[in-house]
Amino acid sequence: MISVIAYGLTLGGILYIISIGFSFTFGTMKIVNYAHALIFTIGGYILYATLPRIGFYPAAVLAATLGVIPIAFIIERFVIRNLYGESVDLTIIATYAVFLIGLDVLKWIWGSNPLQMSDPINKTFTFLGTELPVYRMAVIVIALALAILIEIFLQRSMAGKIVIAGLEDKETVRGLGISVQRYFTMVFIIGSALAALGGVLYAPITVVEPYMGFQILMLSFAVVIVGGLGNWRGTFVAAFFLGMVMSVTGRWWGPASEVAVFAILAVSLLIHPIDI
Amino acid sequence: MGAAVCNWCKRLEMPIIVFAYLALIPLLSVNMASEIIIFSIYALSYNLLYGFMGRLSVGPMLFLGAGVYGAAMCCVYLTANPIACIAAGIVCGALLGMLLGPVTVRAAGAAFALVNMAFNQVGFFMIQTGLAGWTGGSDGKSLYFDPIGPLDFNKPNHVFGLALVCLLAAFFLMRRLTESPFGIIIKTIKENERRGNFLGYNIYGTKLLVYVITAAVSAFAGALYAIMFGYVTPSFISPARNIEVIFATLIGGRGNIYGSLLGGAIFILISSYLPNIIQRWELFFGLILLASVFWFSKGIPGIMDLFGPKKQDVNASAKGGLR
């Protein structure tokens, strides 16, 4: 029972780290960013490539998280920025195309076989008679720390306040003479770095493969919808709630874990429909 | 085009389509021509949802897969009569559409696209793992269909004939549907849903009906795929393949039924021949897709307009403003 709860919290933490960037892009620019899944996957691959050379796990995590920033910048500059004001369907197709291009480049470099990674800490501790891996607990701590940092960033800094205002009403913020574009770019890049961090943290739990982002994207979309559009606190609650749902149903019957998440998504859409 | 020319075209369009596909046989092969035809049926159904109603779904493979697996399960467990199997596939797709439609059509835009993708992922998972005992899991199942009288659908020529007849039926259905008053309501949903509601039309019912028709016709194409290939694998329902039909619709021109035929043929040709020339064909496919979003979002008809005689486009400024 305890191990189920712990796994649920770990999944929830990873889902939160990935979804927060997706949530901000969706909330501020109204763009469904498929390339987010690509960034997530690239994070996992950079970790795989750098870990044997550096040898020190936290340094490799940092390398992967910072390494995707130029890629995110290129995607933002040449694709996302040109999509402002386009209709939603074209933005989805364009970011999907970026996803396909990136996927093929990844396959070109590393091949399409799944790559296994080992647990970087590889220690367990006993809590109430249950053995738990330290690594998974570390993931939960990192997620909570990030949630607090994001809260401080949004509430205390000028940039954060502008982003919150942009979530509410972009036009009025622009009317006040603030160049919203710059802040949205910043949020996009921070979100992408966090997506890569999510990929890095998720990689040792599963395997690194080109399509790993595909499934995660659907889950983080469910998190964003269930948590409420552009509501970063809702995203936090929904991530841990859905992580727990996945863990509990997965214990009962493996294939049911995703189905349960999407069933909750369907109920949430029935209760209040979204049209963006 | 004048009205007289249009009438003349319409009377001859069915023979022209038949002739065009027959001409493909010596150029390519019978199997490739059948694949193009079946994919075009799928593209036609998707065009109704995306091109005419303006709802981008990133999960049409779910309904194609429902047709494929409906027909295959009917063939394996009930009867190997191909006509009964096609009917089973269509019923499966339509029932799935009726089940999911009330949830999905309430969403629009990005939410609609991704909810469909989520259901597609669930369907893929159920076929591959959840119901692997019946569907054969990732190994799939091979099928054998009984001949009906002189028709034996294990022969490529007979499959081609069946596919062509089915394409004409689907094409006729789509033409009648989009040119009817009902079709005008469908286009109203794309242009201005709220105004359609205000005028007293049953917008929710229309959306649901279009969703179910799309599901049923996609499943029809799926059932034909099952007959043509003679085996099923979960790749027929894989969410990673959704982009194929979106590409075909975009490149052929959204909201244009001839565009679906053209786009379907172009996609099958690209996906069959490009890998022979360039190993990393998905990279080029992505680049074509990106280019078509940024520069040719009207597809090939839009490109042809650039070279053709200048037409007065009354709606151009209004459309730009409504985005």
Contact at CB, A258 and B283, closer than 8 angstroms: no
Name residue A275's beta-bridge partners: B108
In this prediction, residue B274 carries a pLDDT of 83
Percent of chain A beyond pLDDT 90? 8
Residues A48-76, mean pLDDT to the nearest whole number: 86
CA distance B210 to chain A (A): 18
**Confidence tier at A221 by pLDDT (50, 70, 90):** confident
The answer to whether residue A194 is domain-embedded is yes
Q: Does A93 touch chain B (CB under 8 A)?
A: yes
Residues B33-58, mean pLDDT to the nearest whole number: 92
A141-151: b (≥16 Cβ within 10 Å) or e:
ebbeebbeebe
How many domains does chain B divide into?
A: 1
**Confidence tier at A261 by pLDDT (50, 70, 90):** confident
Of residues A149 and B137, more confidence is placed in: A149
Percent of chain A beyond pLDDT 70? 96
How many domains does chain A divide into?
A: 1
Residues A215-240, mean pLDDT to the nearest whole number: 86
Question: Shortest CB distance from A104 goes to which of B106, B283, B297?
Answer: B283
Rg (alpha carbons) of chain B, rounded to whole number: 20
Q: At B171, which amino acid appears?
A: F
Contacts of B109 in chain A (CB under 8 A): 88-89, 275-276
Over chain B, what is the mean pLDDT?
A: 85
In this prediction, residue A253 carries a pLDDT of 77
The answer to whether residue A106 is domain-embedded is yes
CA distance A218 to chain B (A): 6
Contacts of A273 in chain B (CB under 8 A): 106-107, 111
Residue B86: which of B156, B151, B145, B172 has the closest Cα?
A: B145
Contact at CB, A96 and B243, closer than 8 angstroms: yes
The answer to whether residue B82 is domain-embedded is yes
Q: Does A82 touch chain B (CB under 8 A)?
A: yes
pLDDT, tens only, A7-25: 888 889 999 999 988 888 8
Contact at CB, A275 and B294, closer than 8 angstroms: no
Contacts of A221 in chain B (CB under 8 A): 114, 118
* Domain range enclosing A70: 2-271
The answer to whether residue A276 is domain-embedded is no
In this prediction, residue A241 carries a pLDDT of 92
| Furthest C-alpha separation in chain B | 60
Residues A171-189, mean pLDDT to the nearest whole number: 84
In this prediction, residue B321 carries a pLDDT of 40
Does residue B32 register a pLDDT over 70?
yes
A60-92: b (≥16 Cβ within 10 Å) or e:
bbebbbebbeebbeebbeebbeebeebebbbbb
Crossing angle, helix B156-179 and helix B257-277, to 10 degrees? Answer: 140
In this prediction, residue B3 carries a pLDDT of 52
What one-character DSSP code corresponds to residue A120? S
Does residue B40 register a pLDDT over 90?
yes
pLDDT, tens only, B97-125: 999 998 888 888 888 888 888 889 888 88
pLDDT, tens only, A138-174: 888 999 999 999 889 888 888 888 888 887 777 888 8
Residue B20: which of B36, B4, B31 has the closest Cα?
A: B36
The answer to whether residue B258 is domain-embedded is no
Report how far residue B295's alpha carbon sits from residue B281's, in angstroms, rounded to the nearest whole number.
21
pLDDT, tens only, B273-307: 888 887 778 888 888 888 888 887 777 777 777 77
Does residue B319 register a pLDDT over 70?
no
Contact at CB, B294 and A266, closer than 8 angstroms: no
For A133, the 3-state DSSP assignment is strand
Contact at CB, B289 and A88, closer than 8 angstroms: no
**Confidence tier at A126 by pLDDT (50, 70, 90):** confident
DSSP annotation string for A151-197:
HHHHHHSHHHHHHHHHHH-HHHHHHTT--HHHHHHHHHHHHHHHHHH
In this prediction, residue A234 carries a pLDDT of 87
The answer to whether residue A112 is domain-embedded is yes
Q: What is the ipTM of this complex?
A: 0.83
Question: Shortest CB distance from A87 goes to which of B122, B130, B323?
Answer: B323
Contacts of B107 in chain A (CB under 8 A): 269, 273-275
* Domain range enclosing B220: 17-240
Q: Residue A244: which CATH number? A: 1.10.3470
pLDDT, tens only, B222-264: 999 999 998 899 889 988 888 889 999 988 888 888 889 999 9
Residues B132-151, mean pLDDT to the nearest whole number: 82
A&B contacts, CB < 8 Å:
122
CA distance B82 to chain A (A): 32
The answer to whether residue B318 is domain-embedded is no
**Confidence tier at B309 by pLDDT (50, 70, 90):** low
CA distance A142 to chain B (A): 28
Query: Residue A169, exposed/middle/buried by CB under 10 A (0-12, 13-18, 19+)?
Result: exposed
Helix (H) or strand (E) holding B48: none
- Sign of CA pseudo-dihedral A247, A251, A252, A257: positive
Contacts of A79 in chain B (CB under 8 A): 290
**Confidence tier at B13 by pLDDT (50, 70, 90):** confident
